[in-house]
Chains A and B, each alone.
Chain A
Amino acid sequence: MNQAQTASGPILTTDGIPLKVSLKKAERINKIRAFLLVLPLLVFILITFLVPIGDMLARSIDDRQINTVFPKTFEVYKKWDRQGLPSEEVYKTMFFEVKNSEGYQIGKASTRMNYSKSGWKSLLKKSKRKFKKIEEGPYKEQMIATDKRWADPEYWKALGQMVDPTTMGYYLNAVDLKYDSNKDIIQQKENRRIYNKTWIKTFKVSLLVTFFCLILGYPISYLLATLPLKYSNLLMICVLLPFWTSLLVRTVAWMVMLQQKGVLNNLLVMSNLLADENRWQLMYNQTAVVIVMTQILLPFMVLPLFSVMKTISPTYMRAALNLGASPLHAFYKVYMPNSIPGISAGCLLVFIIAIGYYITPELVGGKDGQMVGNWIAYHLKTTLNWGLCASLGAILLAMMTVLYWAYNKIVGIENIKLG
């Protein structure tokens, strides 16, 4: 009689408290302890990683900067029908805002305005100087008199791209597109299309590096996983040795090795394998980037491969041989399928690191070997176009997310193993 009741109602502990409530209570302290243990790291990551990334992502679409310099102008500008030239009112507000604002603010704004229509910067610089002489209105004619460009509707139309507090302009830039003066999306001019080429190159180099890392790393990982401990330890040290050496030192060493008058070419010429005038061009191009990055990223392939291969019992191969498979067949059918988690982890890791790599292409890539990372650094440090940096970075991030998602769909993320 009681059985039916207990089965339908919640299970109670001996004190009469529902079991689930009691269990939650008992586990709460553990949960709090676990949370407190990760709290310092969580705070650290939040402050040093998530917040900056969020800020960067916001910058990629943020267009408010200029609105704070010319708030009133934009206010009246919005009423303009975008036909011919704007009214006197627009000219007038623009005049006062240019005249009364601080020089550095004009600088900031004009940089942004130059992205939409080159010429704005010099126009504003010049006007800031000349406007001082103009005492009273009407302003439209006087402004045009200082510089003819004030009468060019293209300049005024370009302002329309900046009215909204957000813009997709940086993203368009990052894939060789832009807004025209009517806010339609068009291709960049032929000679300014650089990013799509760079994207393709970045992918190509990353794929090649990943491929070569796998080809070179797989056998060595296999050896590491199957050798007796005393030899495998030594080999492991050799694999990890590059980790202990500065990245710059290694890269420079490669420059010594690969340049036209470098060690490799000299050796080939000395041994008469290569004519002196036909020295290979191995430095300051994509080849150099692929060679050096492969060497630098190899440990990131070997370590996950090794840790997975270590768990593949050698008896699998023995069993396959014993059952009649040739060594090659046994490897292909039995060993390799079991090493797939390591292959996936290694490839994903190397590819992710490679696609955002900066220092090596910078040093050995020359003009031909520049990758997206180099453009990000260039805009970050030289042109100070942080919006474009942010959008390039955001596209990289989005690509990795898509790749990760696709990988999860095809192979399954549980098939990844780092140890």
Chain B
Amino acid sequence: MSQKDSFVKFEKVDKSYDGEILVVKDLNLDVPKGEFLTMLGPSGSGKTTVLMMLAGFETPTSGEIYLDGNPISSIPPNKRGIGMVFQNYALFPHMTVKENLAFPLEVRKMQKSEIDEKVGNALAMVELQDFGNRMPLQLSGGQQQRVALARSLVFEPRLVLMDEPLGALDKNLREQMQYEIKHIHERIGITVVYVTHDQSEALTMSNRIAVFNDGKIQQISSPDVLYEKPNSSFVAQFIGENNQLKGKVKSINGENCIITTESGDDIQALKINVNNNGDSSLVSLRPERVAINSSENFENNFEAKVKELIYLGDHIRSRVEVCGNDQFIVKIPNSYMGANLKEGATVKLSWKASDSRALDLN
């Protein structure tokens, strides 16, 4: 792997706090320069620990972390030159916005004029020129977030870490900030490692997403691949909405296989990580890929009973019973056709074999 491809490199990193449980297991990860990498996972999956090891607040129990080719495990956090945005911003409450921004520059013993210029630029970057003399607590959540972002960038670090920085904001502001962070990243081309448990945030912002569970990376790939082609049932479940049909492998035919559900229905599916006939498997299927009463030709066609209809404005979420699963969700666009469904009605569901992915059962 070339130098450019591994600006940040985790090599066989393990981390345990108590000597009994590994919170990070054999982590190998390469982040190329300029990439926006998101670590996504449920709480307790080890993603924040990984970030803290990179920032220097935790030391790896074994293994080594490299930054720009140099091992950094023995470098204290204040010498690493890595910017960080903390979950609750960690703006110093006794300093004004300007003083907060000047802090990293002052500890680097920069000239007063240089500090003023850089602080001014940083404030301009996050469009808070008029707020320099305010105290952090006088700012709204979104403004504080921007100050925290500016502070993490003002000393021009090589790498910025963000630990669920948008978690405390309301939904609209969060979405707006997602775009702002994304645009700043694109503009200055800095490497970002971002931690979140919010999958839509991860999908919006990232070049690549690493899905963590149980101290391990389950899958690392670009957002579209992660959504369209999850390679484990955990990832399929964690990212986006997902229908799961439980069954056993009946036969395998090259890239495809047939899964027999407990109700005796045969489903045509892509073989992802099932290997032998008779293995247990979960067939994963996105709700938006299921057609209702379609006249087109799909590999899978089943009768289903409508159990519940939930009106959601732009679409109608319908829970149906199919192949023995009564938690099967189908999204019906609120067009002329969808409006005619009644609870208790019997409909025909169909989907492509390539949209149903036979995954291992874990």
- A315 in contact with B87 given A322-B77, A323-B104 (CB within 8 Å): yes
**9-residue interface stretch from B90-98, B180-188, B190-198, B233-241:** B90-98
A325 within 8 A of B: yes
* Chain B, range 90-129, C-beta contacts under 8 Å to A: 90-94, 103-104, 107-108
Is B103's CB under 8 angstroms from A323's CB?
yes
Task: Give the shortest distance, in Å, between B57 (CB) and chain A (any CB).
Answer: 6
Q: Does B2 lie at the interface of the complex (its beta carbon under 8 Å from any beta carbon of A)? A: no
- For chain A, residues 286 to 333, give those with C-beta under 8 angstroms from any C-beta of chain B: 313, 315-316, 318-327, 329-330, 333
Within B57-72, which residues are at the interface with A (CB < 8 Å)?
57
Instruction: Name the residue on A nearest B99 (C-beta).
Output: A333
Q: A322-B83, A325-B78 are in contact. Are A313 and B94 (CB under 8 A)?
A: no
Residues of B within 8 A of A326 (CB): 78, 107
Interface residues on B, range: 20 to 34
From A318, A333, A338, give the contact of B103 (CB < 8 A): A333
When C-beta atoms are compared, the residue in chain B nearest to A326 turns out to be B78
Q: B151 interface residue, CB < 8 Å from A?
A: yes
Nearest opposing residue in chain B for A319, CB measure? B90
The winner among B79, B81, B88, B107 for most chain A CB atoms within 10 A is B107
Given A318-B57, A318-B77, is A323 in contact with B107 using a C-beta cutoff of 8 Å?
yes
Which residues of chain A are within 8 angstroms of B257 by Cβ–Cβ distance? none
Residue among B88, B93, B104 making CB contact with A324, cutoff 8 Å = B104
Q: What are the residues of chain B within 8 A of A321 when measuring CB–CB? A: 56-57, 76-78
Contact B90 A327 (CB under 8 A): no
Contact-residue size bin, chain A (C-beta under 8 Å from the other chain): 10 to 19
Against A, the Cβ 8 Å flags (1 = close, 0 = not) of B130-174 are: 000000000000000000000100010000000000000000000
With a cutoff of 8 Å between Cβ atoms, the chain B residues found around residue A319 in the complex are: 84, 86, 90-92
* A324/B90 in contact, CB under 8 A: no
* Pair A322/B82 contact, Cβ less than 8 Å: yes
A322-B84 in contact given A327-B78, A338-B93 (Cβ < 8 Å): yes
Question: What residues on A are CB-neighbors of B84 within 8 Å?
Answer: 318-319, 322
- Distance in Å from the Cβ of A73 to the closest Cβ of chain B? 67
Nearest residue in B to A336 (C-beta to C-beta)? B94
List residues of chain A with CB within 8 A of the CB of B103.
320, 323, 325, 333
Return A112 CB to nearest CB of chain B, in Å: 56
A9 contacts which chain B residues (CB < 8 A)?
Answer: none
Q: Scoring A residues 329 to 360 as 1 if CB is less than 8 Å from chain B, else 0, what string do you get?
A: 11001100110000000000000000000000
Q: Is B320 an interface residue (CB 8 A)?
A: no
Task: Give chain A residues whose Cβ lies under 8 Å from the Cβ of B79.
Answer: 324
Assuming A320-B103, A324-B104, A324-B107, is B86 touching A315 (CB within 8 A)? yes
Within 8 A of A (CB), among B340-357: none
B55 within 8 A of A: yes
**Contact yes or no, A315 B88, CB < 8 A:** yes
B101, closest chain A residue (CB): A323
**Which positions 234-255 of chain A face chain B at CB distance < 8 Å?**
none
**In the docked arrangement, what's the CA distance between A321 and B52, Å?**
13
- In the assembled complex, the Cα of A324 lies from the Cα of B84 at a distance in Å of 11
Chain B residues, CB < 8 A from A315: 86-88, 90
Which of A324, A325, A327: most chain B CB closer than 10 A? A324
Residue of A nearest to B91 (CB): A319
Per-residue B-contact encoding for A34-71, CB less than 8 Å = 1, 0 else: 00000000000000000000000000000000000000
Residues of A within 8 A of B77 (CB): 318, 321-322
- Tell whether, in the assembled complex, residue B86 and residue A324 are in contact, meaning their CB atoms are under 8 Å apart: no
The interface residues of chain A lying within 8 Å CB-to-CB of B91 are 319
Which B residue's beta carbon lies closest to that of A325?
Answer: B107
- Bound CA span A323–B91, Å: 11
Query: How far does the alpha carbon of A318 sit from the alpha carbon of B104 in the complex, in Å?
Result: 13
Beta-carbon nearest neighbor of A338 in chain B: B94
| In the complex, chain B residues whose CB is within 8 Å of the CB of A325 | 78, 103-104, 107
Docked complex Cα distance between A316 and B79 (Å) = 17
Task: Provide a sorted-by-A list of 27 A–B residue pairs whose CB atoms are within 8 angstroms.
Answer: A313-B90, A315-B86, A315-B87, A315-B88, A316-B90, A316-B92, A319-B84, A319-B91, A320-B92, A321-B76, A321-B78, A322-B77, A322-B82, A322-B83, A323-B83, A323-B155, A324-B79, A324-B81, A324-B104, A324-B107, A324-B155, A325-B104, A326-B107, A333-B103, A337-B94, A338-B93, A338-B94
A-B pairs, top 10 by smallest CB distance, nearest first, are A323-B104, A319-B90, A315-B90, A321-B77, A325-B107, A337-B94, A321-B78, A322-B84, A324-B107, A315-B86
List 6 other contacts, CB 8 Å, given A322-B83, A324-B155: A320-B92, A322-B82, A322-B84, A323-B104, A324-B81, A325-B104
